[in-house]
Structure 1
Amino acid sequence: GEFEKGDRVTAAHHVPCNTCHYCLSGHHTVCDTLRETNFDPGGFAEYIRLPAINVDRGGFPLPDEVSFEEATFVEPLSCVLRGQRLARLEPGQSVLVIGSGIAGLLHVQLARTLGAGRVVATDIVDYRLEAARRFGADAAIHAEEDVPTRLRQLNNGRLADLVVVCTGAEPAIAQALKSVERGGTVLLFAPTEPGVTIPISVNDLFFRNDITLTTSYAGSPADAMVALELIRSRSVRVREMITHRLSLAETGLGFQLVAKAQDSIKVIIEPQR
């Protein structure tokens, strides 16, 4: 077979069929097969079984330079890669990232790596604002400030060419719509609570100002391959984002840390401990 006992690998939990209408038109992450595939019994276990299709379409050998803990970022970074590709980020463009958790910080780093001009991040937690600065943001603004005004002050009087929304909080989405420049794009990267709808002015956003609203979900195996190379080459620094390493028995604590969203960024579980 392709893999042997003892090989170090990373694997995708959802994989596409590569032959349906959606896959053939480049939308692998809305493929029915991708939505139905999974690990058995799931994560947070000493051992897991991968269906044959996951091994075939979503199993990747780890380069020697990439540790297991760094490889935990392959899936989130592949999602971020797909998002910025769909949002058509161009070198030199200004980027505002709303929400500086793990996804937001990966967006900050990738935008910087892909040649963005000015990169600005927001959050409601000072710890994460400091992390955003550390990982490449030119400025970090507390989300309760007047973000559009601060953005103009930082960005030669202009709003952002690309706004990436990494939180499902309704005020964040409203803030994004006020922070995007004419001709710009808003990437909705996080789900809201169920049943949330947002009122939108067709004239102000679309008819007169050419603003694009787009979304992205998950990542494809091709995105995972690129993510793995960016991690291997240290083009995106991931090891420094890990704040907690916990045993399998401490998984509950891990979820509490992530849910509190205070002094943590990436929390990983080490089931081999």
Structure 2
Amino acid sequence: MRLNDWQLQLESYLLGEDAEAMQALLPQLRDGPTLSGAGGLRIYHNAYRARLLETLRGDYPTLHAWLGDDQFDDLLRAYLNAHPPSHFSLRWLGRDLASFLEAYLVAEQAAPLAELARLEWAFTLAFDAADAAPLSLADMAALPADAWPRLRVAAHPSLQRLACRHNSLALWRAAKAGTELPDSRALAQEELCLVWRQELVCRYRALAADEAAALQAMLAGATFAELCERLAAQAGERAPALAAGWLKQWLQDGLLQKADKP
């Protein structure tokens, strides 16, 4: 058997559920003085699967706390059967869990669980995002007054945006604090949840509908002047001050970069 063929068969064996499915591999193995080749393979199979489960538990602690050990592990085994590792780094192992939940469960069960999975994955993406200097208050102070109306911004690489229709943030906070998780419930109004990295700390906050719409508009390419015009219909003369206050908060949070194109 060629080495490449043996490696592929070993991979197939490790990714399968049956620790006994090793017959094609056994002729290539030698028994040790205290452990047979088959016994060594079983140990390696179990350890590999345990490492995959451990990684996913670490990526999704709130989902784990909500479902409990047995139900969560059953879910993960089903997920791994449908989405075996395809990247050399385990960092990407859980990237498809939310979409898997939507296909695996009925819609009523899937909706809050998939949203929570996306929220937890957003923290992973934010923490691992590329480094970049955010647009700062000092940068804005140096901006000429006549340049403000034309100002365009872009999202910092670490910024993740998630539309939440359930109390996923409350569940995440409770799990993080080690307190009892609240019951899952639908929100009266959808909110935009932001997750980003500031220095080496992941931060988050939920935005009210008006601020969320303003931020989304600017990240979609609206200038500061265009944002003020949109707000004028709702806030009247307060629109520039309201837009400036939000922009200051976004800058303090480190959410923005200057857009590449004017």
**What TM-score results when the alignment is normalised by the length of structure 2?**
0.26
Bigger-Rg structure (1/2): 2
Could you say which structure has the higher helix fraction?
2
Structure 1 or 2: larger strand share? 1
Structure-1-length-normalised TM-score? 0.25
